[in-house]
Structure 1
Amino acid sequence: MTDCGCDKAKAELEEYLHNELARDDAADIREHMKTCVDCSSELHVNVVMTEAVQRACRETAPEDLRLQVLSKLRDLQATH
């Protein structure tokens, strides 16, 4: 396995985070992250952001707000 380089690691970072890369490509990036402080820092930032977004997506709106939004959407659909 060879070091994939910063350009490849950064270009494929999103796919790497979501386990969407081929095994060899993911292994190359994983190996690169072991020796590149810049790329591993960027990976850490992206992991933290991804986890924050995932937590936020699990939250649900209060029922009364949800019903108000649905009502407004129905009103808008009826007038268009």
Structure 2
Amino acid sequence: MSDHHHRPEPTSEDCADFLERIVYFLDNELDEVDCSAVRLHLDSCNPCLERYDLQRTVKAVVARSCAESAPDELRKRVLLRIREVQVQIRES
């Protein structure tokens, strides 16, 4: 007899959806309902949990490696280009 409280195994479609949301989950960009859904999925799906751990580790390594700031001249050029693109978008 099966246990009615046991969650069914996640499908590949479930995993594809959750793998997309993991990035937003890591960046705290999901609402509480979506965060809870991601946590529940990670609790029941080892492959997704492993991918989550890998992405979290990579994000932490990148964050540590990006402590230096861009030179002022580069920052000014990037900001100018962003403004140019915004104007082009508004005009189209």
List alignment gaps of at least 5 residues for structure 1: 71-80
Return the match for 1:20 from 22, 25, 29.
29
- How many equivalent pairs are there? 63
Equivalent residue number for residue 3 of structure 2: none
After superposition, what is the alpha-carbon deviation per residue over 1:43-66, rounded to whole angstroms, capped at 9, x for unaligned?
Answer: 0000000000100111468xxxx6
Q: Distance in 1 between matches of 2:22 and 2:51?
A: 9
Shift of 1:11: 1.2
Equivalent residue number for residue 38 of structure 2: 29
Amino acid at match of 1:37: N
| SS of structure 1 residue aligned to 2:30 | coil
Amino acid at match of 1:41: E
- Equivalent residues in 2 for 1:1-80 (5 A)? 5-59=14-68
Q: Distance in 2 between matches of 1:40 and 1:8?
A: 14
Q: Distance in 2 between matches of 1:21 and 1:60?
A: 28
- Structure with the largest fraction of helix: 1
Q: Distance in 2 between matches of 1:12 and 1:60?
A: 29
| SS of structure 2 residue aligned to 1:21 | coil
